[in-house]
Amino acid sequence: MQTRRERKKQETRTKIFSAAMNLFQERGFEATTIDSIAEQADVARGTVFLHFPTKEAILAHWGQDSLEEVIERRSEWDVPAYSCEQKIMKVFEIAMSTNRENLPLVRVLVKSSLGTPSAMLQSGDKLSLRNLFGDILEVGQELRQLQESIDPIIAGNMIENIYLHAVNDWVLAEGQWPIEEIFQTKIHYLFNGLNQ
Query: To the nearest whole percent, how much of the chain has pLDDT over 70?
Result: 91
Burial letters for 112-141: b for 16+ Cβ neighbours within 10 Å, e otherwise?
bbeebeebbebeeeeebbbbbbbbbbbbbb
Domain boundaries, the chain: 1-52, 55-192
pLDDT of residue 56: 84
Superfamily for 55-192? Tetracycline Repressor, domain 2 (1.10.357.10)
Tell me whether domains 1-52 and 55-192 share a fold: no
pTM for the full model?
A: 0.80
pLDDT of residue 37: 96
Q: Classify domain 1-52 by CATH number.
A: 1.10.10.60
Q: Identify the segments of the chain with pLDDT beneath 50.
A: 117-125
